[in-house]
Amino acid sequence: MTYPLPSSCERAILEQFLKAEAMALWAVRSAQAQDVPRGVLQFLRRHEEEEAQHLKQFELLLGTNSHGKAALPRMPSQWRVLAVHLYGYEALGLEFARLLVGLRPDLTSILEDEEVHVGFFEHEVRAILVQGGSDADGARQAAQAWRRRLPRTVHRYLHDESLAAFRDELQQHILDVIDARFLAVGLLARPERQSASPRKTTIGEARLSCDFKSNG
């Protein structure tokens, strides 16, 4: 599902996607230094090449340079936690890619790449959860912690004034989509439905009942 935005938001979304791509590139580079499964390491190397290409593409579109980091960000050392972090941020990037393509259909290849990235890490997360035990518990705990930080992250990405009229609804849309994804994969538990409390009788209804009884 694509959330429609007017053309006036195009530059803001491009700028935020540039930041997201830079962050993804740094995270992928940092993740390669961790103890990850061999197949994951190979994917991360390809992923790094793709993110670097995306970064150059957006720098050209915006006529600017992203600021490189002297030191790579710290990433979780345990694979069950790292997998959740990568999956979460890829899922967030996918939602911004959808916003971007809604404004720039010519950038559909970016969306397709993001879908591949999310699909890969979703498969890895499912594999961890299927194992059960402490690995699955650790992954779910990591997902809960990551989800608690997510609203602040999304709010930062939507700070541009051109997005002000859409910010609250757009933020809720992104959070709902990611929640649904985490629920479907089994990282988050579905909230228990509270039983409906008995409806209180209004004053008007009480009077009507009394009138009916007195006339009966």
What percent of the chain shows pLDDT beyond 70? 83
Distance CA 125, CA 140 (A): 10
Q: What is the dihedral of CA 55, 123, 94, 92, to 10 degrees?
A: -100
Residue 185, token pair as written in the block: 């994969």
Single-letter code of the amino acid located at 123? H
Is the Cα torsion angle 180, 184, 190, 196 positive or negative in sign? positive
The tokens 């720039």 sit on which residue?
104
**Residue 30 near residue 89 (C-beta atoms within 8 A):** no
Report d(CA 120, CA 105) in Å as an integer.
24
Question: Sign of torsion, CA 95 46 119 192?
Answer: negative
CATH class of 7-192: mainly alpha
Share of the chain above pLDDT 90, in %: 60
**Per-residue pLDDT tens digits for 14-37:** 988 888 888 888 888 889 988 899
Residue 200, classed as helix, strand or coil, is: coil
The full DSSP string for 17-76 is: HHHHHHHHHHHHHHHTTS---HHHHHHHHHHHHHHHHHHHHHHHHHT--PPPPSSPPP--
pLDDT tens, residue by residue, 100-144: 999 999 999 999 999 999 999 999 999 999 999 999 999 999 999
User: Where are the domains positioned within the chain?
Assistant: 7-192
Q: What is the pTM of this model?
A: 0.83
Q: What is the mean pLDDT of residues 174-189?
A: 95
